[in-house]
Structure 1
């Protein structure tokens, strides 16, 4: 089974646009789980543009499914991971000023840094995942630094899907198999939606988890949150 983790960042963005607590992020997360989400993902950026530090701790008290915290592994992030102890910490190489995560780790040039960070996170009893492009050498590098999983950065799949989906998915299928052979779990995320998700799942049937936020929230505006989560679950099953 490939688990659906709902990224709730966008709900926090809507809340922050007006101040107050509407929508209530705690209620959103609990409802997502009630409607079938098998995980909740957040990305607490330093500027708190969506998820705030307070959100992290409030959600940690109510999330009963798999809690996944993404972020750049600076001291602030590592402190959160060590205190909250989520099920998974996903390491993303994005600086504070980027709009959204837009590249995977170069696990070769950052090998020493990643190895140290991963050892520290594992010492807290937390599973690690590295956000990564579908490049064989970097997948091999991920295995060498000791991560438990990788999360394939799927933007190029999404952009190439409507032109030539077979060509677009090929590097993902190939590197996912490599990762599996190296003993790594395989997650995926970024720009996955109801158009391309089923196809990706068919090509990588052993995926452990997909993390989906923006597209799922957009679909929920039309279909409703409960129905949308059911639709995404259906694509994975």
Structure 2
């Protein structure tokens, strides 16, 4: 018989998959805090490191499912993805090792700071018209940093990758989201292997998250094309701010 905790995790994965595919997030900004905040109500307490490990499987699922849909729609910049993915894979492995040793408060604080900074960048560019332009030289190191954050925080790297691709590489927001989804699937494989080797990956919960994410991602990829670009940026930013405030409250105020 399926437990209530497993059903809750499945629901978390479903919501994460929809939002992840729509916004190019990988779903980690939903999965990590939701696992920490929801599971205790069902008698399961997990650490943020365990939540990050489980989220890596969700990121892999949304990357595979969402990218397949975006490839069919012709939105993925495949050449850009293949050129930048080595930076995120190396960064992801480094970030995953950090996630095994850093204190939970440090991980949560870095997570919150990253989310707030990404939201600021997107809100600043909200009225900017998407247009092709020459990529900045800072794109490779920024994508490596995205990989580190994906491994450390289980977020897929989309919170950094989407703003980098859109604001620094000149990729229109829809294609930036699609390409980010493509890259995050490649990065999540190595990240998940590191956490599995570290003994933090709960496979039954990860499987439930992945199933929900796979179902939600297919729906989210279809909805993305119907939402105006400005609304995508605004909704993305508000979600990041809300999640950051939740984490700061838990680890600095409500101890």
Query: What TM-score, normalized to structure 2?
Result: 0.27
Does 1 or 2 have the higher relative contact order (CA < 8 Å, sep 6+)? 2
Would you tell me which structure has more helix in proportion to its own residues? 2
TM-score, length basis structure 1: 0.29
